[in-house]
Chain A
Amino acid sequence: MHRTLSPRTLLIRVASAAVVLVAVMLACALVGTERVSFVNALSGGSDPASPNPDFEILMHVRVPRIILAAIVGAALAGAGVTFQAVLRNPLADPYILGISSGAGLGAILAVIGGLNWTLFGRSPIAAFAFAGALGTVWLVWVVGRVTGKFHVTGLLLAGVVVNACFSAVIMFLTSIARSQEVHATIFWLMGNMAEEEFFVLWVSGGSVLAGLVALFFISPQLNALSFGPAEAQSMGVNVRRTQVVAFAVAAFITAVAVSLSGLIGFVGLIVPHAVRLVFGPDHRQLLPLSSLVGAVFLLLADTLARVVVAPAQLPVGVVTAMLGGPFFLVLLMRYNRKVCRLT
C-alpha cells in the first residue's frame, strides 16, 4: 500500500494547499465584527481630511492580522513536524523543549519591569519573549548534550524539567504582580493576536519562510532519522548535523512565532499529526503541507476568535484547542480504522 512520492504529486498537493490558503485568507478578510463595504474600501484611503474607516479596517487591521495568523500557523506546524521527527516522539510539539516557558518568562519580566520602548516596531514583550525562547532552547540543548551522543531522551527530560521550573517562576511572578499586569500576561500566555506593522510582518514572514525552506532541505534526512539515529547513520546520514540544523531552525521559527503572538497551543501538535494521517509520513511532503494547513487552521481559528463573542474577542489559543481537539479525534478514528482494514 505504500506508494513513493513523485515530485509531480508533491507539487500538485502543495500548490492546491497554497490555493486553499489564499482563498481562506481572502474569505477571512471579509469576516469581522464591523461590516465593511468592500467597494468603499477599494475606493482608497489615507486621505487625512476624510478618513475612510472601511479602508482602514480592511487594510490596516484585518489584512495584517490575517497575514500574521498565516505566518504563525505555518511556523508552528512546520516546527511541530520537525520536533516530532527528530525527537521521535508523537507528543512532541514546538514548545516541548522549554520554548513556551522561556518565552513566557521573558514576556512576564517585560510586563512586570514596566518596560516601554519599541524596537523596529516590536514591543519589549516580543523582544524578551524571543530572547527567552532562544535562551531556553540553548540551555536545554547544552544540558541535553551532556547526556549522550544522540541525546533524545536527555533533551526531552531537560525540556520538561526546564518547562516545569520556569512555569513555577512565572506563577510566582504573577502572584506578586499587580492585577492588571497579571491580566496582560495571562492574555499573552493564551495567545494574543494583533495586527502588526508592515515591516514586522515582512521580516518575520521572510524568516519563517526561509526556515521552512531550510527544513525542507533536510527533509530526506528527517525521513531517515525517524527510523532511529543508529539506522539513519547506517544509511549515511550525518545525524549530528541534521539534529543541530533541525533544532536550531525549528526553535528559531517557533521563537519568531511566539514573539509575534504569544503561546498558541495545539497547532504545532495536531496539524502535523492530521496531515500525516491523511497524506502519509514522508517529510518532503509532510513539511510543506503541514505548514500550509497550519496557516489555514490558525487563520480560521483566529477569525472565529475575532467574531464569536463580538464586540469582545476570545484568546486564539482557546479556539485552536476547542476546535482542533474534536476535529483531530474524528480524523484519528477514521483514518486508523481505514489503515487497519487495509493491512
Chain B
Amino acid sequence: MRKWWLLLVSLALWNILGYSLAQTSRVAATDATPAAATPTRIVSLAPNLTELLYALGLEEALAGVTLDSDYPAAAAAKPQVGTFWQPNIEAVVALKPDLVVALDFQQQQSVVQRLERLGYRCLMADIWTVDDFMRAVGTMGQATGRQPQAEALVARLRGDIQRLQNAIAGRTRPRVLWVVQREPLRVAGRDTFVNELIELAGGENAIGPTLHKYPPIGAEQVIACGAEVIIEPAMVESDFARQRETALAYWSRWPHVPAVAAGRIYVIDGDLVSRLSPRLYQGLETIAQCLRPEPPGE
C-alpha cells in the first residue's frame, strides 16, 4: 500500500513544481512584448486573406502564404507555409513575420494561439458573411496602416452590390439549386454564405431551411424543389466544358425539373464563389448572369 501513496504524493509534488515553474516563466514571457508598428513581413494563412492583402497593395510586405493561395498568380511564388488546413508553424517562424493573418475557425485558431504564445502578433478574421468580409477589410486595413485603401475597397464593393440590387429590384426571383457535390448529391442550404450570394444576385435558394448547412438531398427533393436554375461551381478551372457535359448528362434523369427542361444548368468558376474575397463582386456578377441570361441592367 505504501508504494501507492508514494506514487500519488510524488505526482502531486511534480505537478505543484511544474505549476510554480510555469508561473515564473510566464512572468518572464510577458515582459517581452514586441513594439507595434506598421508590419513589413506579413504571413497569410488563408487564400482569401492573401487576395485581400494584394488588394490593399501589400504585395511587398507579404512574406509568406499557404499552398492554397493561388490568386493573384504572383501569390503562388511567395514562400509557402503549409496548407490552409494545416499551416506549418516551423515555416511561419522561419519567415520572422511581424504579423500573421488567419481565419477564425478551430484549425487556424490553434495555430494562432501557438504563435501568440511564442510572441508573434496575429490577427484573426471571422468571415462567414458578406458583412463580415467588409468588416474584416476594415480591421486588416487598420492593422497594416492601409485604411484609405481598405475604405476605398469597401466603398467600391458596396457600390457595386448596390447597383446590382437596383438592377434586379422588382424582378421575379428564380429558384436556384446550388450543387456542392453530385455523388452523393449535396446542395447549399439556407444557413450558408452561398445562400447570401444567391439572394444578392437576385435568386432564391430552391432548398428551404434545413438542419444541415449543406444538406444531402434525394431524388424526391430534387423534383419537389422546382429549381429553375442549377449552378455547379467547378473546383478546377480548366474543365468547365467537360463538367458542363457531365452535368447535363447527370441532370437529364430528371427532365421535368424546370431548370433541366429549360437547359439552365451552369458550371461556374468555383474560386469566385467559394471564398469571400475582394473578387466577391465578380462572383456575384457571374451568378447574376446565370439567373438572367442577359446581363443585369440591360
Contacts and interface: CB of A to CB of B under 8 A. Distances in A.
A179 interface: yes
Interface string A44-72: 00101001010011001110000000000
A34 B91 contact: yes
Nearest to B118: A60
B89 A195 contact: yes
Interface residues of B, number: 49
A180 B94 contact: no
A210 interface: yes
A108 B40 CA distance: 37
B86 A313 contact: yes
B121 to A, nearest CB: 12
A32 B90 contact: yes
Contact of B19 (A62, A118, A199): A199
Given A180-B107, A199-B22, A214-B7, A187 B94 contact: no
B107 A199 contact: no
B213 to A, nearest CB: 5
Contacts of A214: 4, 7
Interface stretch (A88-96, A170-178, A277-285): A170-178
B136 to A, nearest CB: 15
Nearest to B17: A202
A213 B7 contact: yes
B67 interface: yes
Main SS at interface, chain A = helix
A183 B7 contact: no
B67 A312 contact: yes
A217 B89 contact: no
A48 B105 contact: no
A310 B82 CA distance: 7
A53 B119 CA distance: 12
A16 B114 CA distance: 35
A74 interface: no
A123 interface: yes
B15 A311 contact: no
Contacts of B67: 311-312
B34 A48 contact: yes
A206 B110 CA distance: 24
A32 B94 CA distance: 12
A48 B111 CA distance: 21
B260 to A, nearest CB: 27
B205 interface: no
16 contacts: A32-B90, A33-B88, A34-B90, A57-B94, A61-B90, A179-B214, A180-B103, A184-B106, A195-B114, A198-B18, A202-B18, A203-B18, A214-B7, A311-B81, A311-B88, A312-B67
